[in-house]
Amino acid sequence: MQVLDILFRDITVVPMSSMSGSQGFFKGSVGVSGKKIAYVGESKPLEAKRVIDGRGKVLIPGLYNCHSHSTMVLLRGYAGDKPLQEWLFDYIIPAEQAMPPEGAYRGAILAIAEMVASGTIAFSDMYFNVEDIARAVDETGVKANITNAMTGFGIDFKKDRSYTQTLAVHKNFASLSHGRIKAEAGIHGEYTSDPHAWHQCLDFAHEHGLRMHLHLSETKREHEECKARHNMTPAQVFEKHGVFGVPTTAAHCVWAEEQDLDIFLDKKVNVVHNPISNLKLASGFAPVSRMLSKGVNVALGTDGASSNNSLDLFEEIKIGSILQKNATGDPRAIPALQALRLATSNGAICQGRENESGRIEEGLDADLAVLDFNNERQTGSLDPLSNIAYSCTGRDVWLTMCQGKVLYEGGEFKTIDIEKAVREAEALVASPLWKRKLG
């Protein structure tokens, strides 16, 4: 008999796969061997080095946060309650430019801690000093697609930090991390760069087989100014220039129009919905129900912690669903199982990981999260899916595992010295030079 490394026994399993059945869950066992899920089933006698009693617990695929700026945890609460343009250009960008160089790594460690403690095992990050972010991902055992998105007009892309840093992640980490780290090409947005730069960035993506991550139609102003400039929407301009010729993650898409949705479907563009960031900045909200009914792949993201102000994806699952119910006037919109799908299997598609993760199936990576329902909020659950979508928060996560390795269990971080991480982040935010900039 095969001896497993870990067996979750008598646990409620939400596989997000063909095994889901009509209810979307079943009671059974899941076995992990090495990095992989080795058994999924009702029950059979199995031996394991460690058996976890799953009674009162729920096993779900680990969550995917498909649009983040991890290091922005260091700017949480800075210049809140301001309009996006003022917040971004008058406060955030100048503060980022003054950030001490160790900020990227220390911020990323802290962000990863917050994410794994709330069930997230993979994120798509857009920031600068991305080699340091990749180092944090490598050390902590999560998965990430990482880009330093290009900005600028008339630039020589190959002399730009976007090129050198993203290439460094691709060369130095992609092959060393068992596939956990992927570099992506990135265009910050239509309004912060020009077609000349996009073509250079595209050549880079084609040359190295990279995916693309960009912001698209986040605000009405961005969307309308593009139409005034080009007589086309941002999605149409990007399509015209061949940007969607590589697998693309488009964050926000709040103001996407009907013909843009057709482009997303046709070009298999993955849309990332960031409901809380969009609502907090009063940017609006994306027509997600319409996108999903057309067949567009939609995943969820938190965006940066300074516009959210949390990296707990359960908040996006709940708000993302409730928002569409209200927007469509139909409480059946984005039901609980679909809300969880956006955060799991759709996220895996968005990162190009659908053949390795995002569902609980034999042979896939053991990327899992366990929710503990033995508490005052979840006990006596009549429908675990309803609890997951509308009652759970990250605090209900008991265990998080990536590629079979336990990263977080029972309030303890297994790969992060959390006291050191908090101490170092506090010291950084309090450092005299940066403090003066932050006011």
Q: Which residues bind Zn ion (CB under 5 A)?
A: 303
Min. distance of Cβ 252 from Zn ion in angstroms? 7
Sign of CA dihedral 315, 114, 107, 270: negative
Candidates 85, 74, 108; CA nearest to 434 is: 74
Distances (CA, A) of 192 to 84, 93, 195: 15, 13, 10
Give the angle 336-337-340 at the CA atoms, nearest 5°. Answer: 90
Cα 51 from Cα 28, distance rounded (Å): 13
Min. distance of Cβ 245 from Zn ion in angstroms? 22
Cα 220 from Cα 34, distance rounded (Å): 48
Candidates 111, 76, 109; CA nearest to 95 is: 76
Q: Which is nearer to Zn ion, 169 or 272 (CB)?
A: 272
Cα 165 from Cα 151, distance rounded (Å): 14
Q: Which is nearer to Zn ion, 303 or 356 (CB)?
A: 303
Q: Is 168 exposed, middle or buried (0-12, 13-18, 19+ CB in 10 A)?
A: middle
Residue whose C-beta lies closest to Zn ion: 303
Min. distance of Cβ 309 from Zn ion in angstroms? 14
Min. distance of Cβ 218 from Zn ion in angstroms? 7
Q: Which is nearer to Zn ion, 127 or 244 (CB)?
A: 127
Min. distance of Cβ 303 from Zn ion in angstroms? 5
Q: Which is nearer to Zn ion, 303 or 316 (CB)?
A: 303
Q: Which is nearer to Zn ion, 260 or 303 (CB)?
A: 303
Q: Which is nearer to Zn ion, 215 or 318 (CB)?
A: 215
Min. distance of Cβ 131 from Zn ion in angstroms? 20
Q: Which is nearer to Zn ion, 171 or 220 (CB)?
A: 220
Candidates 126, 251, 261; CA nearest to 190 is: 251
Min. distance of Cβ 12 from Zn ion in angstroms? 34
Give the angle 306-198-230 at the CA atoms, nearest 5°. Answer: 90
Q: Which is nearer to Zn ion, 141 or 347 (CB)?
A: 347
Q: Which is nearer to Zn ion, 93 or 430 (CB)?
A: 93
Min. distance of Cβ 142 from Zn ion in angstroms? 19
Min. distance of Cβ 87 from Zn ion in angstroms? 12
Q: Which is nearer to Zn ion, 253 or 296 (CB)?
A: 253
Min. distance of Cβ 22 from Zn ion in angstroms? 38
Cα 403 from Cα 35, distance rounded (Å): 4
